[in-house]
Structure 1
Amino acid sequence: MQRLFTIFFILFSLICFGGYITITYTVQPGDTLIDIARKFKVSPSTILDWNNLSNATKLKVGQQLIIPQPEGYLYTVVKGDNLYTIAKRFFTTVSDIMIANNLTSDTIRVGQRLFIPASSIGKAFNREKGYIWPVFGTLSSPFGYRIHPITKKYSFHSGIDISAPEGTPVFASTSGVVTFAGENGGYGLMVEIKSGNVVTRYAHLSKITVYVGQNVSQGTLIGRVGSTGLTTGPHLHFEIVVAGNATNPLAYLPSSNNIYVLKETAGAVGGE
């Protein structure tokens, strides 16, 4: 019995927080990311979001991974935030965030870490068309020819730019297989997902939470907004390429006035 007790603490250690716990799991010989994800009933994207892994497909024996239970993600409050703006970024509700974090009031503070349950994410996705908005933000640069904000040259913009704060979650606009996940020149950290003859690209990320070969569903967390590559600030560059031809993503997405479809009043105090 003592030996089993010792093994448990070698493989797992638990830390309890407000409405969730984190398990620290020690990688064993033969472990793969997908095996560990299945063991704890979480998505590989969740493990990647919580851990800084240099290579998601080659785990090291003895490496320690933090895994949340239940499955979910952390968000750190920044100045100007309120529970409603945070709910919109995760396409969830204020009540879900309050319950998950045992909040008795809607007051939040800068630097506070909030847990967002995976089960609540996506309640506000607008699925009226075949694609969902990959991030909640503001359209800052359209598709087509423009004066490049950095080079100042007249050039073709092969996607749209969606302005959002650093760390805002980015979700797969449609399902498919990840064909690229890494750094790509001026795109910075980029994810590419292929579905039939359609490729979607998500660029300038601060973090990537998928790996090449991963099958992702629409709404899977694939990374976080950043400003890597050639940018003037944090935003998501989003492309839809059909049969090798760049197309205007706005033709496939719901109206930009209806990115978040829940009708909920703010009623939340901004971060201090």
Structure 2
Amino acid sequence: MKKLFIVFALAVVTLYGFGNYFVINYYVKPGDTLYLISQRFSVSPSIILDWNDVDPYKLKIGQLLKIPQPPGILYEVKQGDTLYDISKRFFTTVSYIKKVNNLKSDFIYVGQKLFVALDGIGLAFNVNGNMFMWPIYGVISSNYGWRVHPIYKRKSFHTGVDISAPEGTPIFSGTDGVVKLAGEYGGYGLAVVVSYGKYDIVYGHMSKVSVYKGQKVSKGELLGRVGSTGISTGPHVHFEVRIKGKHTNPFVYLPPSNRIYVLREGTVNLGGE
């Protein structure tokens, strides 16, 4: 790991190098906002919030922010993870993850931190025309419609689709839009609501929220991480589509569930099923 010191806009900035990326330690100056800092370093506010536990509305002078260059996301390896699993969750390829992390083999270990730069994320996003995009790669654990509630053990209507994935899996916006809510949301736990035309799209039960209210987001932009907050039996995303406040079947707007991961033409994924 390399460590350098430079002067940037009259503020001390420390750089830590890690193979094919480095992290800037930036100290908040008078007049700084999250948006201005993101513009200064050409990093989206979502990435800054993902790397830091800060209140986007209450930055403090002298507060330390970690900013990755190039912009990207860290993932901590969980028990049972393989590089192929992780590549699916980032909609990228095994070969890309190995390259950016200087890995010589497919061996990874629990607790290892892998970096995935934004230019490699989304190589397999299924952006099928005007349809929504699946926000994560995972297993559908509960469909839209009537069910026996897993906690209350009584019949109730499930207003979205649940997609299970390990805690910490990145959640990507299924549409363009503006963040209408970011934070605690009753039984949804930590959640994000994105307003997109006539639709409000809900992403519930997050472990971390990486956007702020009023932020403009693009399809495929990071919203946060999978968790099990609120009324939940395990890590998953509750994905819900509303029109004028009324829930509707999300499957109408999403590509088929067997087409969540669609590798871009000409891109090769190294790894097995």
Q: TM-score, normalised by structure 1?
A: 0.93
Q: Deviation at 1:10?
A: 5.0
Partner of 1:247: 248
After TM superposition, the structure 1 = structure 2 runs for residues 216-255 of structure 1, keeping only pairs within 5 Å, are 216-255=217-256
Q: Distance in 1 between matches of 2:6 and 2:238?
A: 48
Partner of 1:113: 113
The superposition leaves residues 210-256 of structure 1 with CA deviations (integer Å, 9 ceiling, x where unpaired) of 00000000000000000000011111000011232211111111111
**Contact kept in structure 1, 2:94 and 2:270, CA below 8 Å:** no
After TM superposition, the structure 1 = structure 2 runs for residues 117-156 of structure 1, keeping only pairs within 5 Å, are 117-129=117-129, 130-156=131-157
Q: Distance in 2 between matches of 1:6 and 1:85?
A: 38
Q: Deviation at 1:6?
A: 7.8
Task: State the one-letter code of the partner of 2:49.
Answer: L
Q: Deviation at 1:7?
A: 4.8
Partner of 2:39: 38
Q: Distance in 1 between matches of 2:109 and 2:19?
A: 16
The superposition leaves residues 5-47 of structure 1 with CA deviations (integer Å, 9 ceiling, x where unpaired) of 8855952001111211000000000000011011111110000
Task: State the one-letter code of the partner of 1:135.
Answer: I
Partner of 2:206: 205
- Mark the runs of 5 or more structure 1 residues left unpaired by the alignment: none
The superposition leaves residues 64-100 of structure 1 with CA deviations (integer Å, 9 ceiling, x where unpaired) of 0000001101011112111111011010111111111
Task: State the one-letter code of the partner of 1:56.
Answer: P
After TM superposition, the structure 1 = structure 2 runs for residues 29-108 of structure 1, keeping only pairs within 5 Å, are 29-53=30-54, 55-108=55-108
**Contact kept in structure 1, 2:168 and 2:227, CA below 8 Å:** yes
Deviates more, 1:66-75 or 1:102-111: 102-111
Seen in structure 2, the aligned counterparts of structure 1 residues 103 and 265 have a Cα distance that, compared at 3 Å, is closer
**Contact kept in structure 1, 2:146 and 2:155, CA below 8 Å:** yes
Q: TM-score, normalised by structure 2?
A: 0.93
Aligned residue-pair number: 263
Seen in structure 2, the aligned counterparts of structure 1 residues 6 and 150 have a Cα distance that, compared at 3 Å, is closer
Task: State the one-letter code of the partner of 1:264.
Answer: N
Q: Deviation at 1:104?
A: 1.6
- Mark the runs of 5 or more structure 2 residues left unpaired by the alignment: none
Partner of 2:271: 266
